[in-house]
A and B are shown apart, each in its own frame.
Chain A
């Protein structure tokens, strides 16, 4: 009960603002007679959402699958690369500059190549998603592994801890807040990756629905698709946040995250 109340207190202002904006939007569109192909009425968007519910939800699941598989792959690859970089100085020297280079290459620009390599189906979208979302994980995991308090390292040395013990007892737990914070960023990147991947070329997915809707001048459907993917994003990022708060309940303050 108390919890529900606190929850309402936390989120009510944002929800109220959102409602106000939607009402204002409706009023402005009506008063200024803005044509639907520019900005549709919220009510038109809502009715399109209802009318195309099955279409939207069916395609949503395709996109969700791409997001989750791409996210999982990206996180796994990012974490594994971070492990490699810190595991040996030579590997670190080999990979670190390349990681920096790869970071500045615009991933969306190379998406068409992925389509050529991995085909028109779901695989190319997953690969694009992986390419977009693994960077925050690798950067922040490395940061987490390498920013252990020097006193703690001295302490472990005085206890004659092995390299593996130092990693398991200090570096790995130290990286968890950084890692978890990077997951949140990665998840938002994964959503972008999947949708962009579908824009390049697809026959299913929310991104595909958006393309079709805009080329058919079905503006309310385009907006409805945006709403669906936004809700998906909120739920997925929210889920990551919940996991984060469980895993870092020992943490007193925020960590600075690199993107």
Chain B
């Protein structure tokens, strides 16, 4: 199937093939990822879910160029290696903590990626302001991060990830540190952004219904070393409505994922 896809010129936005990864430590190397295979299509929303500490974040780090390369296998983004993909600004990353620079204003934080690549222009400035407005942060351009709530900070982080209009959004438990209500609000907002800006999203979470509610596919990972246990296709119609979470189908998926995770523990 993988090979066939390649042969027929079908390409993926994210493609992990036979990826294994060991972290070198002072003692024995830690085996984190074990033969991961995952292809994410253009505009697809895919969630990674797995027991805590299983290596979900490592996958994001691998695809965002933070961890340089897998021990074996290949990680590709839009048919090129991760390093050149990050240089081409194809990937935006959102971490669990907003990780804003406290000495920069909201607007200046959003502009950081453009500054790094030397693309600051009047146009990008306008775009950043529009992004902030779209995220409900109009009027906070010149505020410092510590004056904002956790949810607002995470919105800024999202705006920053979108600043150079990447094709792919990698999100590592982006709402993990937020309270349930804010979390759900931001999840709904994320879908709005995803629809509006047409991104390919790889979303790491440990929240089952969040994963099902957001995603086209949910990838369930085993405990460390992580490998793909099962991939569930969530064929609910779009746009997703909150009520869909009450449907028998949704609940059945939830039970299935929970069962898989419990087995993984």
Residue in A closest to B113 when the chains form the complex, CB atoms: A159
A-chain residues with CB within 8 Å of residue B97 when the two chains form the complex? 151
Considering the chains assembled together, what is the distance between the CA atoms of A66 and B101 in angstroms?
38
Q: Could you mark each residue 47-86 of chain B with 1 if its beta carbon is under 8 Å from any beta carbon of chain A, else 0?
A: 0000000000000010011100000000000000001001
Interface size on A, residues (CB 8 A): 22
Contact B146 A155 (CB under 8 A): no
Q: Could you mark each residue 142-175 of chain A with 1 if its beta carbon is under 8 Å from any beta carbon of chain B, else 0?
A: 0000000101101111111100010001100110
- What's the A-B contact tally at a CB cutoff of 8 Å? 62
Q: Which of B97, B103, B117, B145 has the most chain A CB within a 10 Å cutoff?
A: B103
A-chain residues with CB within 8 Å of residue B66 when the two chains form the complex? 154, 157-158
The A-contacting residues of B in range 206-227, CB under 8 angstroms, are: none
Contact B102 A250 (CB under 8 A): yes
Q: How far is the CB of A23 from chain B (nearest CB, A)?
A: 44
Contact A250 B104 (CB under 8 A): yes
A3 at the interface (CB under 8 A from B): no
Residue in B closest to A165 when the chains form the complex, CB atoms: B116
B-chain residues with CB within 8 Å of residue A250 when the two chains form the complex? 102-105, 144-146
Contact B99 A155 (CB under 8 A): yes
Q: Contacting A169 at CB < 8 Å: which of B91, B115, B117, B146?
A: B115
Q: Given that A149-B99, A154-B61 are known contacts, is A160 also in contact with B86, CB under 8 Å in the complex? A: yes
Residue in B closest to A154 when the chains form the complex, CB atoms: B66
Q: Given that A158-B64, A159-B113 are known contacts, is A252 also in contact with B102, CB under 8 Å in the complex? A: yes
Q: How far is the CB of B117 from chain A (nearest CB, A)?
A: 7
Q: How far is the CB of B169 from chain A (nearest CB, A)?
A: 12
Q: How far is the CB of B90 from chain A (nearest CB, A)?
A: 11
Q: Which of A156, A157, A176 has the most chain B CB within a 10 Å cutoff?
A: A157
B-chain residues with CB within 8 Å of residue A89 when the two chains form the complex? none
Q: Could you mark each residue 128-154 of chain A with 1 if its beta carbon is under 8 Å from any beta carbon of chain B, else 0?
A: 000000000000000000000101101
B24 at the interface (CB under 8 A from A): no
B203 at the interface (CB under 8 A from A): no
A251 at the interface (CB under 8 A from B): yes
B6 at the interface (CB under 8 A from A): no
B12 at the interface (CB under 8 A from A): no
The A-contacting residues of B in range 105-130, CB under 8 angstroms, are: 105, 112-113, 115-117
Considering the chains assembled together, what is the distance between the CA atoms of A149 and B95 in angstroms?
12
Contact B87 A160 (CB under 8 A): yes
Considering the chains assembled together, what is the distance between the CA atoms of A159 and B65 in angstroms?
8
Considering the chains assembled together, what is the distance between the CA atoms of A154 and B99 in angstroms?
10
Considering the chains assembled together, what is the distance between the CA atoms of A169 and B146 in angstroms?
18
Interface residues of A (CB under 8 A from B): 149, 151-152, 154-161, 165, 169-170, 173-174, 176, 248-252
The 10 closest A-B pairs by CB, nearest first: A252-B146, A151-B99, A158-B64, A173-B103, A250-B144, A154-B66, A159-B116, A250-B103, A158-B93, A161-B116
> Other CB < 8 Å A-B pairs besides A158-B86, A165-B116, 16 of them?
A149-B99, A152-B99, A154-B61, A154-B95, A156-B116, A157-B65, A157-B66, A158-B64, A159-B117, A160-B65, A160-B86, A169-B112, A248-B103, A250-B103, A251-B146, A252-B102
